[in-house]
C-alpha cells in the first residue's frame, strides 16, 4: 500500500559473498499499478525497466518488467528462463507493481543494518508486514539519516553468476508497514 516501506537484504547464499545479509534496497511505496498497467507504462516510457537477460546493460538484465501482457497468457521477456508460464502464478500473485519516488538502491554496495534491526527480515524468501510495526520509526530515522541521495543507484545491480540461466544471487524482501502517508505520488 502507498506509504509502506519495502526493503531487501542479500540472501544468505554463496553467490552474494561480501554483501550477504546487507541492505540492498529500501523504498517507500508511493503508488501501485496492476501488472498489466505497469507493463504498458514500461513499454511506453520506462524501457530501461523491460527485463532482457541478453542485454549488455546490467540494469536491463535485472529489469523488473518481466512479463509481456500483450499476450494471453502473459509471456516472459527475452531469455528470462527463471520466469516461465509455469511460474506465472507465483510471479504474479501480488497482482500489483509497487512504485516509488522515494528509494535507496545500494546493489553491490549493500550496507550493514544496525544492531537489532536484522530481525525485520525473514530468513527465507518471503515478506513480513505487521510483524515489523515496532521497527518502522527506527528504520525510517536510520535510512533517511544516512545522507544518501534519494532515487539514485548507489551501487550496481547484483548480477547472477549466469544471467542467461537466471541463476545466482537473490534478495529477501521484507515489507515494513509505516503509518506515514506520503504526500507525493508517482505518475
Q: Which residues lie below 8 Å from residue 31, measured CB to CB, with a gap of 6+?
A: 2, 98, 99, 185, 186
Q: Edge-to-edge strands of the sheet including 5-10? A: 103-105, 23-28, 5-10, 171-176
Torsion, Cα of 12, 14, 19, 21 (10° steps): 10
- Is the pLDDT at 9 greater than 70? The verdict is yes
> Residue 124: which pLDDT band, with cuts at 50, 70 and 90?
low
Tell me if the pTM is above 0.85.
Answer: no
Q: Which three cell numbers stand for residue 52?
A: 532482457
Mean pLDDT in residue range 56-78:
81
pLDDT digits (tens, 9 = 90+) for 14-53: 455 667 778 999 999 999 999 999 999 999 998 888 877 7
- Is the pLDDT at 95 greater than 60? The verdict is yes
Instruction: List strand residue ranges (DSSP E) for 29-102, in order.
Output: 31-34, 67-68, 75-76, 96-99
pLDDT of 16 reads 56
Please give, one letter per residue, the 3-state secondary structure of 8-34: EEECCCCCCHHHECCEEEEEECCEEEE
β-bridge mates for residue 146, sequence order: none
Q: Which residues of 107-131 are buried (b: 16+ CB within 10 A; e: fewer)?
A: bbebbebeeebeebbeeeeebbeee
- Given a contact cutoff of 8 angstroms between Cβ atoms, the answer to whether 112 and 160 are in contact is no
DSSP at 129: S
Q: Give percent helix, percent strand, percent coil of the chain, each to the nearest 5.
A: 25, 20, 55
β-bridge mates for residue 99, sequence order: 31
β-bridge mates for residue 6, sequence order: 27, 175
- Given a contact cutoff of 8 angstroms between Cβ atoms, the answer to whether 100 and 150 are in contact is no
Amino acid at each position: 500500500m502507498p506509504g509502506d516501506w519495502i526493503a531487501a537484504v542479500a540472501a544468505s547464499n554463496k553467490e552474494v559473498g561480501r554483501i550477504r545479509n546487507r541492505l540492498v534496497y529500501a523504498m517507500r511505496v508511493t503508488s501501485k499499478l496492476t501488472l498489466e498497467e505497469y507493463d504498458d507504462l514500461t513499454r511506453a516510457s520506462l524501457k530501461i525497466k523491460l527485463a532482457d537477460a541478453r542485454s549488455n546493460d546490467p540494469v536491463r538484465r535485472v529489469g523488473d518488467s518481466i512479463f509481456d501482457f500483450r499476450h494471453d497468457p502473459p509471456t516472459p521477456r527475452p531469455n528470462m528462463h527463471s520466469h516461465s508460464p509455469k511460474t506465472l502464478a507465483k510471479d504474479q500473485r501480488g497482482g500489483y507493481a509497487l512504485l516509488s519516488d522515494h528509494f535507496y538502491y545500494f546493489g553491490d554496495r549493500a550496507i550493514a543494518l544496525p544492531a537489532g534491526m536484522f530481525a525485520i527480515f525473514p530468513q527465507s524468501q518471503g515478506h513480513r508486514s505487521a510483524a515489523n510495526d515496532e521497527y518502522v520509526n527506527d528504520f525510517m530515522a536510520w535510512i533517511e539519516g544516512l545522507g544518501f541521495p534519494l532515487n539514485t543507484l548507489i551501487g550496481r545491480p547484483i548480477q547472477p553468476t549466469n544471467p542467461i540461466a537466471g541463476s545466482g544471487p537473490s534478495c529477501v524482501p521484507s515489507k515494513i508497514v509505516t503509518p506515514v502517508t506520503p504526500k507525493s505520488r508517482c505518475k
